[in-house]
Amino acid sequence: MTYRVEVKPSAADALAKIPQPHRGRIARKIDRLADNPRPRGSILLEGPSALYRVRVGDYRIVYQIQDAALVVLVVRIGQRGDVYRHLP
């Protein structure tokens, strides 16, 4: 099963501001979520939103998996100290 990966506009803006080569590594990791939305190292975050996070160096990708619709929604991308603030 292949999932469709969607990126919120705010997450896309954050990705655009990240310098290379980090941006490329993050983009490749996001693309791989389509084949495996729960890769090794992904963690289910505590809270009511059922968000997952995956590490890419000092950066984190926070996303939601919608299994019924086969969608991975990337909610936030950022450095580890800032990405968890004000999550839904």
Domains of the chain: 4-76 (3.30.2310.20)
Q: What is the pLDDT of residues 53-81, one digit of tens each?
A: 999 999 999 999 999 999 999 999 999 88
CA angle 84–87–88, rounded 5-degree value: 160
- Summarised one tens digit per residue, pLDDT across range 3-41 is 999 999 999 999 999 999 999 999 999 999 999 999 999
SS3 25: helix
- The pTM of the full predicted model, rounded to 2 decimals, is 0.93
